[in-house]
């Protein structure tokens, strides 16, 4: 991600004064009369993220007022790069190390642009002097990881198919000296990944399983799975045109897996990491898998295809079974899996399912700390019967339309051992409307929360 920071202030550097909403009136009373007059005239009330530009008598910008909920608020600072004119700025406040790092991270995320396909040049970004006590490496790693997630999701499927997604994983592997292997095409059948092959075989870009490993084998084993459906037509259960408009984002889970891996490796978390991304296109052709086909999964369970548009759980189940075979300390998976999750929690929240209460509690605590919202939904076992099949061990969809996010999670749970702590994140991975630092398009959801949880447990 392109960010804009500088090491030192100069004579032209403009101070940014953060004002907490709760103490606005007390702060204003202590300010010079010209500032008080400007604040009253401009209507500035120090609401979170609110910005007011104050000029000196000569008409030159001399100060920026910024409303913040608190000094640790990441997103309160994220609107500044777009709102401020080109130039150099510094934060004029004493900040804790956590607050300085959050402010710099917000600035960095506010600098994000996806302009690969734009013919003109984007607006030149202003620069922020690194706040004192900022953990610079953390800011850079976080901005890079979230920028990677956004870039992968935003890139059209024509340029981000299974082969290109595998290429991005290899780039990441080279950057951090990780081992990356890719199983492609019919080799998936030989290596016993039948559901990944079945979903992706109708595409001209063959299906793949991306397998990244990093870290020492003696350290805690963390496996991360990401749904990598690079485009989803729905298969023979074809989506309507409106349903396909955002389907380039259906590999958002795979993008999250690679982004989280980037963060873990950049900050050298002491874990033995494995990332598995089944990368496919769910396309339509003469060899496409069909409704009511029965496929034998890697685990040995047979699955009846109730709907070819419920393909994400199919590619995920083989990857989950492989991850579980190594008895990891934890399995985490990310997937743009169900519209039902969006109905339940909306587009901003990551829905979480977990078979381990301690793991779920740690994620929720971390999510609250870093302001990356996650909402736990139940793995309600009585609903498992809704996935029963008359001809196979399990159906990939339930007969009714109720509880769709839960039944999808219950399907995935069949491929994870009872003793393996596992959390599943059903995410939107997309901003449907813009807010400071979060433009319309691909978005990381739950990533910062999960990394915080991992860091608290293992660093």
Distance CA(454)–CA(435), nearest Å, equals 28
Among all chains, which residue has been given the structure tokens 């010079």? 32
Strands 228-232 and 208-214: unpaired
List 170, 239, 384, 457, catalytic entry: 239
The two three-digit tokens of residue 295, written as one number: 């496929």
The two three-digit tokens of residue 245, written as one number: 């408009």
Question: Using N-to-C axis directions, what is the helix angle for 447-458 and 136-154, rounded to 10°?
Answer: 140
**DSSP labels, 343-372:** HHHTTTSEEEEES-HHHHHHHHHHHHHHT-
Of 152, 187, 186, the closest CA to residue 167 belongs to: 152
**DSSP labels, 45-106:** ---TT-EEEEE-TTS-EEEEEEEESSTT-TGGGTTHHHHSPSSEEEE-S---HHHHHHHHHH
Question: Using N-to-C axis directions, what is the helix angle for 162-176 and 136-154, rounded to 10°?
Answer: 170
CB 230, CB 162: distance < 8 Å: yes
- Give backbone dihedrals phi and psi of 257, rounded to 5 degrees, phi first: -60, -45
Any catalytic annotation for residue 390? Answer: no
Distance CA(168)–CA(146), nearest Å, equals 14
Any catalytic annotation for residue 239? Answer: yes
- Bridge partners of 243, per DSSP, are none
SS3 content of the chain, % helix, strand, coil (to 5): 40, 20, 40
Query: Is the Cα dihedral 437, 439, 444, 446 positive or negative?
Result: positive
- Bridge partners of 334, per DSSP, are 226, 425
List 90, 274, 313, 342, catalytic entry: 313
Active site residues: 239, 313
């Amino acid at each position: 991600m392109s960010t804009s920071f500088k090491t030192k202030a100069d004579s032209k550097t403009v101070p940014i004064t953060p004002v907490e909403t709760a103490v606005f009136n007390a702060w204003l009373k202590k300010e010079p009369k010209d500032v008080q007059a400007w604040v009253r005239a401009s209507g500035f009330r120090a609401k979170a993220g609110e910005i007011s530009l104050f000029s000196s008598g000569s008409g030159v910008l001399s100060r920026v007022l910024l409303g913040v909920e608190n000094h640790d608020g990441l997103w309160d600072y994220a609107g500044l790069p777009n709102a401020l004119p080109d130039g150099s700025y510094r934060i004029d406040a004493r900040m804790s190390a956590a607050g300085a790092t959050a402010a710099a991270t917000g600035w960095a995320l506010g600098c994000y642009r996806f302009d690969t396909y734009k013919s003109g040049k984007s607006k030149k970004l202003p620069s922020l002097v690194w706040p004192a006590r900022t953990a610079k490496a953390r800011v850079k790693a976080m901005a890079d990881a979230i920028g990677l997630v956004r870039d992968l999701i935003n890139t059209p499927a024509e340029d981000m198919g299974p082969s290109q997604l595998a290429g991005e994983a290899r780039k990441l592997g080279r950057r951090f000296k990780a081992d990356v292997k890719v199983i492609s095409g019919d080799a998936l059948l030989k290596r016993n990944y039948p559901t990944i092959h079945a979903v992706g075989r109708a595409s001209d870009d063959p299906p793949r399983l991306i397998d990244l490993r990093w870290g020492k084998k003696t350290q805690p084993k963390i496996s991360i799975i990401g749904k990598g459906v690079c485009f989803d037509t729905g298969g023979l259960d074809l989506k309507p045109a409106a349903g396909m408009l955002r389907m380039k984002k259906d590999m958002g889970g795979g993008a999250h897996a690679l982004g989280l891996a980037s963060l873990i490796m950049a900050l050298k978390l002491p874990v033995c990491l494995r990332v598995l991304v089944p990368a496919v296109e769910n396309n339509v052709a003469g060899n496409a898998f069909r409704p009511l086909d029965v496929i034998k999964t890697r685990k040995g369970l047979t699955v009846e295809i109730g709907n070819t548009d419920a393909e994400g759980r199919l590619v995920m189940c083989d990857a989950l079974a492989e991850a579980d075979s190594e008895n990891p300390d934890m399995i985490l998976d990310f997937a743009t899996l169900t519209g039902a999750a969006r109905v339940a929690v909306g587009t901003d929240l990551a829905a979480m399912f977990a078979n381990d209460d301690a793991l779920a509690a740690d994620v929720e605590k971390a999510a609250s700390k870093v302001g990356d919202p996650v909402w736990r939904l139940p793995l309600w076992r009585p609903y498992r019967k809704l996935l029963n099949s008359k001809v196979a061990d399990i159906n990939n969809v339930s007969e009714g339309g109720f509880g769709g996010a839960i039944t999808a999670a219950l399907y995935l749970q069949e491929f994870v051992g009872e003793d393996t702590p596992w959390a599943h994140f059903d995410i939107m991975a997309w901003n449907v409307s813009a807010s400071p630092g979060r433009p319309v398009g691909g978005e990381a959801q739950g990533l910062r929360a999960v990394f915080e949880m991992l860091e608290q447990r293992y660093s």
